[in-house]
Structure 1
Amino acid sequence: MDSKNYHEDLSHIRSMMERSSRFISLSGLSGVVAGVVALLGAGYAYLALESAKTEYIFRGRVSYTPALVQELVVTGLIVLVIAVLSGYVFTANKSKKKGLKIWDATTKRLLITFAIPLVTGGIFCIALIFHHLFVWIAPVTLIFYGLALVSAERYTLTDVKYLGYCEIALGLISSFILGWGLFFWAVGFGILHIVYGLIMHKKYK
C-alpha cells in the first residue's frame, strides 16, 4: 500500500515538474490548420507564378517582377498571420480546459528560444530578396524554421524536435534542387504540419 502511494506521489511530482518547466498546451489542431493554410498559400503562389507565364517547375526559370515578388511576400505574410492566430486560439482553448496559464515564465523562455533562429532566418530572407536571390528563400525558411523548432523543444513537447528535423532535412534537400522550392515549401509547411498536428492531437488530446 505504501509502495503504491509512493509511486503515485512520484508520478504527481513528475507531472508538476513538467508543467512548471515545459509548455505542454500546444494544440495539434493548430498544426493542422497551419498546414491547410500553408497549402492554400502555396497553391495561390503557384497560380501567381503561372499567371506571370513563368517556368517555375521546369528548371526554376522565373522572371521575378517587383509586382510578383510583392504578391508572393504578401501571400507568405498572410499565411504566417493566420497560422499564428489559429495556433494561439487553439492553444489558449486547450490551456483553459486544462486549467493552465498560457502566459508564464516558461512561455516567455519558449518564445525567446523559438524567436532567435526564426527572426535570424527572417532577416536573412530579407537580404536574399534585397539581392534578388529569390530561389533560396524556400530552403532558408525551411532550415531556420526547423532550427527554431529544435531549439524550442527544450521548453515544450519533445515531439516538436522531430518536426524540426524533418523541416531542416527538407530545406537542405531543397537547396540542391532550387527549381522545386515551392514544392518543398508546401510539403514542409503544409503536409508535415498536417501530419504532425493529427499525430499530436491523437497523442495528447
Structure 2
Amino acid sequence: MARTKEFDPDAALQRAMELFWLKGYEATSMADLVEHLGIGRASVYATFGSKRELYLRAYDRYLENGVDFVGLLSRPGPVLPAVRALVERYADEAAADTLHRGCLVVNTAVELAPHDRAVARRVEANWDFVEGTLTSALARARAQGELSAGKDPRALARFLLTLLQGMRVMGMSSEDPARLRDTAAVALSVLD
C-alpha cells in the first residue's frame, strides 16, 4: 500500500519557487531545498524528480503567478493608459524589490539559458508571449488613433519588453528608485 504524502506538494512547489528565485539554480543545493521545504530528500525526488525538473516546475509556477498581460492589455477602451500603467508597475515593483530577486525569467535567461537549449526555449516562449501581447495591444492603440500611424507596434513591443526586463535587472542592484521611475517616464515618451 502506498504511503500518503505528509506534505502539500503545491505548497512545497511554491516554497521551492521562492528559494530558486532568491538564490538561483546553481546556488540552491538539494540540501537547501530539503531544509527550506521541510521534507526529506527522497520525497523531493519522488514528488518532483530531479532538481532541474523541480526548477522548471517552479519556473512555470512563477509564470502562472505573474502579471496578467492579456487581462491588463485587452480591456475595452483606450490602450495606452494600460501600457503606461504596466511600465510604471514594473518600475515600482523593481524599485520595491528589497530582496533584490529581480525576475525569475530574467534570472533563468542569464543563468541557465546560455547552456541549456530547453530552458532557453522556455524563456523565449515567455518573451514571445509578452511581445505578442504588447504588439496586439499597440496595434489596437494605433487603430484607435492613440498611437500615430507611423509607429511600428512590433518594434515598440520589443522595446518595451527589453525595457521591462532591464528594469527587473536594475531593481536587483540599484538602491535609487528614481532611476527606475525616470527610465520608465522617458521610455513612455516614445508612445507620444
Q: TM-score, normalization: structure 1?
A: 0.30
Q: Which has the higher contact order (CA 8 A, sep 6+)?
A: 1
Q: TM-score, normalization: structure 2?
A: 0.31
| Between structures 1 and 2, the one with greater helix share | 1
